[in-house]
Chain A
Amino acid sequence: MSYDKRIDGRDFDELREMDASVGVIPRADGSAFFRMGGTSAYAAVYGPRQTYPKFLQNPAKGVLRCHYSMMPFSGAGDRVRPGPSRRAKEISMVTTNALLPVIDLKAFPNAIVDVFISLPQTDAGSRCAGICAAALALADAGIPMTDMVGAVAVGRVDDKIVMDLCYDEEAYKDGPVADIPVAMTHRTKEITLLQMDGEISKDMLAEALEKIKGAMDKIHEKQVSALKGKFEKVKAEEKPAKI
């Protein structure tokens, strides 16, 4: 049996509908919202600021600390217990590692940059949406970055390579499934996150990782228009109001 048509009717390499905006949390130093289909993520950046607990301090350069959390009502129906679970801690760690290669904190010795990611609604791909939002929020906070980072899942459902799996595809029963969240820098196309759940052949994996580059460009486009949109919005608003 083969997987001829995707459950939600998308093309095999089509991403879910995206939404992105920055500056959504005025109190934070930088913030962003990123939505990928049914998965929404907010990210807030505070800092660089003083490091607590003190033992995390690094006198050579600043520290990045990410915190991932799903809101209690964000799942498919069961309440998600708030607080750091094993899974949340792991995702916080891989998110930090996914962003670290592009973040340049040499100018901030002993300081820390905190990134808080919260997901009000999830439908697979939450760590990817979180990373997309976090990269936007860091750029919005004016943290020095050598590049932008995007993230999306690629995978296989039965005999097909599919982009950006939704939850129903992850839980597909009639054949083998692999779900591979990938984060990639934009310019250099370096992989900063690569995890896998399921099974896939070597050839299929290579093909999947090649295909994902096109998807990353689409995500990057969305991120850039969100960042630039924040400043162009002010420009557009003032025009009709002739004083």
Chain B
Amino acid sequence: MSEIKVKDKNIVVPGEELAEGMDFIPSGAAFRENEKIYANRIGLVQLEGRVVKVIPLAGKYNPERNDMVIGKVVDILMSGWRVDLLSSYDAVLNIRDAFDRYIKKGEDLTKFLQIGDWISAKITNVTSQKLVDLTTKGHNLGKLQPGRIMKISPYKVPRVIGKKGSMMKMIQRATDCKITVGQNGVIWISGHPEMEILAYDTIKKIDEEAHTSGLTERIKQMLEKETGKKLEDEGDQI
């Protein structure tokens, strides 16, 4: 006899029993021990049929292949740059994954990227020992232009982006800022200084209230009040 012990959207703590019996499958931050399923991190329960999933609410960014991230150059190596992704591990950007033009052996790499520069990049590979490779070849990747950098919890990034990017589109339309969101929770904002601050505050609010319902509507009202613009509903917004 199988039984679910929690409700959808419940907040669970490590070691909390989620389900009993072999009819359910653990996913995300959940694990099975004997007949029972437990959570192994603080997170939000998501029940989808037979799958018991726990979406973590805290923790450092876990680098994954094909993620778009924003990082800071912290060191210059023999053939590339070391990049801090605010994760448990640093990443390496190799010269040949960074620029199309040929770079001679021994050439001064600070001509291209200096220590302290922020870049947007894509993760090309993560090994079992968590060595992370980056590339800056691609649309919207490379050194970031002057703007504002903010950091949020990486687990709130999906909420900041919204369904099919709806939340992000709304903030960009309201503030006329260029915004890039890295999967590691680092966000780059560039635009009119006052609007940058509004975008910053809006994203901060989403970060704090990500697990509550009716957030999109509240954010819309907040942006409309601050900018005086009327934001049209998009078809795909729920």
Tell me if A139 and B59 are in contact (CB < 8 A): no
A102 beta carbon closer than 8 Å to chain B: yes
Main secondary structure of the interface of A (DSSP, over half): mixed
Choose, from B64-72, B167-175, B204-212, the stretch at the interface.
B204-212
B14 beta carbon closer than 8 Å to chain A: yes
B200 beta carbon closer than 8 Å to chain A: no
With contacts A48-B88, A231-B211 taken as known, whether A144 is within 8 angstroms of B41 at the C-beta atoms is: yes
B7 beta carbon closer than 8 Å to chain A: no
Tell me if B221 and A187 are in contact (CB < 8 A): no
B54-98 at interface with A (beta carbon < 8 Å): 56-60, 62, 88-90
Residues of A within 8 A of B60 (CB): 29, 47-48, 142
Tell me if A111 and B88 are in contact (CB < 8 A): yes
| Most chain A beta-carbon contacts within 10 A, residue among B14, B128, B218 | B14
**Within the complex, what minimum Cβ distance (angstroms) separates A59 from chain B?**
6
CB < 8 Å: which of A145, A235, A243 contacts B212? A235
Tell me if A47 and B88 are in contact (CB < 8 A): yes
Tell me if B42 and A227 are in contact (CB < 8 A): yes
Residues of A within 8 A of B89 (CB): 50, 110-111
Tell me if B218 and A243 are in contact (CB < 8 A): yes
Residues of B within 8 A of A10 (CB): none
B129 beta carbon closer than 8 Å to chain A: yes
A135-157 at interface with B (beta carbon < 8 Å): 139-148
Tell me if B41 and A108 are in contact (CB < 8 A): no
A125 beta carbon closer than 8 Å to chain B: no
Main secondary structure of the interface of B (DSSP, over half): loop
B202 beta carbon closer than 8 Å to chain A: no
With contacts A232-B11, A235-B212 taken as known, whether A140 is within 8 angstroms of B42 at the C-beta atoms is: yes
Contact indicator per residue, chain A 205-243, by CB within 8 Å of chain B (1) or not (0): 000000000000000000110011001101100100001
Count of chain A residues near B, Cβ 8 A: 37
Please classify how large the interface on chain B is, using the bins under 10, 10 to 19, 20 to 34, 35 or more. 20 to 34
Q: Which residue of B lies closest to A30 (CB)?
A: B58
Q: Which residue of B lies closest to A109 (CB)?
A: B129
A81 beta carbon closer than 8 Å to chain B: no
A232–B11 Cα distance when bound, in Å, is 9
Residues of B within 8 A of A144 (CB): 14, 29, 40-41
| Most chain A beta-carbon contacts within 10 A, residue among B13, B56, B208, B211 | B13
**Within the complex, what minimum Cβ distance (angstroms) separates A115 from chain B?**
15
A228–B129 Cα distance when bound, in Å, is 33
**Within the complex, what minimum Cβ distance (angstroms) separates A190 from chain B?**
12
Tell me if B15 and A146 are in contact (CB < 8 A): yes
Residues of A within 8 A of B129 (CB): 59, 109-110
A227–B62 Cα distance when bound, in Å, is 22
Tell me if A142 and B58 are in contact (CB < 8 A): yes
Q: Which residue of B lies closest to A223 (CB)?
A: B13
Residues of B within 8 A of A109 (CB): 128-130
B118 beta carbon closer than 8 Å to chain A: no
A123 beta carbon closer than 8 Å to chain B: no
Tell me if A146 and B14 are in contact (CB < 8 A): yes
CB < 8 Å: which of B11, B17, B42, B128 contacts A142? B42
Residues of A within 8 A of B59 (CB): 141-143
CB < 8 Å: which of B13, B57, B225 contacts A148? B13
**Within the complex, what minimum Cβ distance (angstroms) separates B201 from chain A?**
14
| Ranked 8 nearest A-B pairs via Cβ | A142-B59, A142-B58, A145-B14, A147-B15, A48-B88, A144-B40, A227-B13, A111-B88
Q: Name A residues whose Cβ lies closer than 8 Å to a Cβ of B.
A: 29-30, 47-50, 59, 102, 104, 107-111, 139-148, 185-187, 223-224, 227-228, 231-232, 234-235, 238, 243
Q: What are 9 inter-chain pairs, A to B, with CB distance below 8 A?
A: A49-B88, A107-B62, A109-B130, A110-B89, A139-B14, A142-B56, A142-B57, A146-B14, A235-B211
